[in-house]
């Protein structure tokens, strides 16, 4: 009898932008692909981030449950002792293009992986990945981990330039914007992505965004961390340029659901948070002692920074609001950290009113019944995590898509207050009080509605599940 050699399984190479948000999202996607059973997955991390991930998380033991999964690393081109802080983001981009790019090309073309790669899934910001994949003849699907509403405004940058809406002079940031289809009724200059405020159109970040928009439609498809029902109008605009969309989110909820279904009888488990900083779980013990919805959670994510002056305004606004707080003060998040001694003194003075940590288990925090509001920088992951837990937001966006997200939070989804371009103690106090009082209830109603749609999208036959299954089928079909 003739023995048939079993066909080798498809092998996906996942390549995130080396930042906390994209790594978290893409690890979740990696896990979902592993759960599908017959897809091999390699996750390409930079050496620096991989060391941090191994140091602060149980990611290795979690993925050891999937024999078809591998981690592989590549250099980000920066020396070990480089701070990789947001004010040095330019260095990281330079390293990615001058060192990671050729290394990635070498890895993909010389078959450095233990199995042939049949599909690449790369972050949309890694524009070189498509050129490399095309040269080597491997199909590539992009994954945009920013918000779809933010992404759509990126796609309209050329239109905004042609219409003379950017660059703009002067300080009339409330002037309405007309060149982003679907957003004419509510978008103002101040709500455009932060890089649109530049007067220099050769600015590397605006150029990177425009490059991204040239590359993404040329790929085999585009994965988005959202669900159809949340972003339907924006998705329909995006489909006019990228017809093959996979809105598979919210990815973090997908995994909680999977875990719940698969390990019946155990209590629902939260997906691992895959943090690049050490999570301080003591804040959960502290939250356990606080009354229902009495605490505001303050975090500006993994990249945003604030000045000492802004921190002082936040502190006064918070103290004057009388609301209990859980505040994440990420290392190196204050511009001029040499004043750290003063900050500690200030914060110590109110310690009995709150809890300070340098990095929190955010998904667990937002799910805690003591949390009544979130003062956030409007990063897309944070926005989705908050929405899913029904926690209303005060938004203080820092950069890129966050300015668009905060406008959508306040004007489209009506689940929070937009505080962009303001950092005044009186305003902060009022917004926190409003959020924790009457407005919070209104916002929670809208959130209940939206998170119900999200959960439906993640149930059998739901839109995100169907999109994920279609993605899995398409990856299987790409098998060599």
Cβ atoms within 10 Å of 55's Cβ, excluding its own:
10
Contact 398, 435 (CB under 8 A): no
Tokens of 457: 């999208």
Of residues 314 through 333, those in contact with ligand UDP by CB under 6 A are 328
Q: How far is CA 465 from the centre of its chain?
A: 20
Distance in angstroms (rounded) separating the CA atoms of residues 112 and 27: 21
Q: How far is CA 38 from the centre of its chain?
A: 27
Of residues 371 through 390, those in contact with ligand UDP by CB under 6 A are 379-382, 385
In the bound state, the residue with its beta carbon closest to ligand UDP is 379
User: Binding of ligand UDP at residue 143 (CB under 6 A)?
Assistant: no
User: Binding of ligand UDP at residue 360 (CB under 6 A)?
Assistant: yes
- Which segment (165-173, 317-325, 354-362, 411-419) binds ligand UDP by CB under 6 A? 354-362
User: Binding of ligand UDP at residue 397 (CB under 6 A)?
Assistant: no
Among 49, 272, 362, 410, binds ligand UDP (CB under 6 A): 362
Query: Please, where are the H alpha helices in 276-339?
Result: 282-288, 308-321
User: Binding of ligand UDP at residue 299 (CB under 6 A)?
Assistant: yes
The closest alpha carbon to 153, from 238, 240, 225, belongs to 238
Contact 294, 370 (CB under 8 A): yes
Query: How many residues sit in the footprint of ligand UDP (CB under 6 A)?
Result: 20
Residues 234-273: x/- map of binding to ligand UDP (CB under 6 A)?
---------------------------------------x
Q: In whole angstroms, how close is the CB of 265 to ligand UDP at the nearest point?
A: 28
Task: Give the 3-state secondary structure of 178-224.
Answer: CCCCCCCCCCEHHHCCHHHHCCCCCCHHHHHHHHHHHHHHHCCCEEE
Contact 185, 440 (CB under 8 A): no
User: Binding of ligand UDP at residue 150 (CB under 6 A)?
Assistant: no
CA angle 465–376–158, rounded 5-degree value? 70
Among 10, 95, 148, 301, binds ligand UDP (CB under 6 A): 301
Of residues 161 through 200, those in contact with ligand UDP by CB under 6 A are none
User: Binding of ligand UDP at residue 226 (CB under 6 A)?
Assistant: no
Distance in angstroms (rounded) separating the CA atoms of residues 213 and 158: 10
The residue (of 124 and 139) whose beta carbon lies closer to ligand UDP is 124
- Look-up: residue for tokens 């009113």? 353
The residue (of 142 and 472) whose beta carbon lies closer to ligand UDP is 142
Distance in angstroms (rounded) separating the CA atoms of residues 476 and 480: 9
User: Binding of ligand UDP at residue 31 (CB under 6 A)?
Assistant: no
Among 24, 48, 190, 329, binds ligand UDP (CB under 6 A): 24
Tokens of 338: 């040499």
Cβ atoms within 10 Å of 446's Cβ, excluding its own:
16
Binding footprint of ligand UDP on the chain (CB under 6 A): 20-21, 24, 273, 275, 299, 301-304, 328, 359-360, 362-363, 379-382, 385
């Amino acid at each position: 009898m003739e023995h048939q050699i079993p066909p080798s399984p498809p092998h996906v190479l996942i390549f995130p932008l080396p930042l906390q948000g994209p790594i978290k999202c893409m690890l979740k996607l990696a896990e979902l692909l592993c759960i599908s059973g017959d897809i091999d997955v390699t996750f390409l991390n930079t050496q620096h981030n991989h060391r941090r991930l191994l140091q602060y998380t149980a990611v290795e033991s979690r993925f050891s449950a999937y024999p078809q999964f591998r981690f592989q690393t590549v250099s980000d081109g920066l020396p070990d002792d480089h701070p990789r802080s947001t004010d040095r983001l330019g260095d990281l981009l330079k390293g990615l293009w001058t060192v990671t790019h050729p290394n990635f090309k070498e890895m993909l073309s010389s078959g450095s992986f233990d199995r042939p790669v049949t599909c690449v899934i790369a972050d949309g910001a890694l524009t070189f990945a498509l050129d490399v994949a095309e040269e080597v003849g491997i199909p590539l699907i992009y994954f945009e981990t920013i918000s779809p509403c933010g992404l759509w405004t990126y796609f309209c940058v050329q239109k905004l330039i042609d219409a003379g809406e950017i660059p703009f002079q002067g300080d009339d940031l409330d002037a309405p914007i007309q060149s982003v289809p679907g957003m004419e009724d509510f978008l103002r200059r101040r709500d455009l992505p932060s890089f649109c405020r530049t007067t220099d159109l050769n600015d590397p970040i605006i150029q990177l965004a425009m490059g991204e928009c040239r590359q993404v439609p040329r790929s085999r498809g585009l994965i988005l961390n959202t669900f159809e029902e949340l972003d339907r109008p924006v998705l329909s605009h995006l489909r006019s340029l990228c017809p093959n969309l996979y809105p598979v989110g919210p990815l973090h909820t997908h995994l909680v659901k999977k875990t719940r279904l698969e390990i019946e009888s155990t209590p629902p488990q939260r997906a691992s948070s895959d943090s690049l900083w050490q999570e301080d779980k003591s804040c959960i013990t502290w939250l356990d002692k606080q009354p229902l919805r009495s605490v505001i959670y303050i975090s500006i994510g993994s990249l945003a920074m604030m000045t000492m002056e802004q921190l002082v305004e936040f502190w006064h606004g918070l103290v004057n609001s009388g609301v209990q707080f859980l505040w994440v003060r990420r290392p190196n998040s204050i511009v001029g950290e040499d004043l750290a001694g003063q900050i500690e003194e200030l914060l110590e003075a109110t310690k009995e009113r709150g809890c300070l940590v340098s990095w929190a288990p955010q998904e667990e925090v937002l799910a805690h019944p003591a949390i009544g509001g979130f003062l956030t920088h409007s990063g897309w992951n944070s926005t989705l995590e908050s929405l899913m837990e029904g926690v209303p937001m005060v938004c203080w966006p820092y950069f890129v898509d966050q300015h668009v997200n905060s406008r959508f939070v306040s004007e489209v989804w009506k689940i929070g207050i937009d505080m962009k371009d303001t950092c005044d103690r009186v305003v902060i106090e009022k917004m926190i009080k409003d959020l924790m009082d009457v407005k919070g209830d209104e916002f929670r109603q809208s959130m209940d509605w939206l998170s119900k749609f999200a959960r439906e999208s993640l149930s059998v036959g739901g839109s995100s599940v169907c999109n994920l299954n279609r993605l899995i089928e398409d990856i299987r079909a790409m098998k060599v």
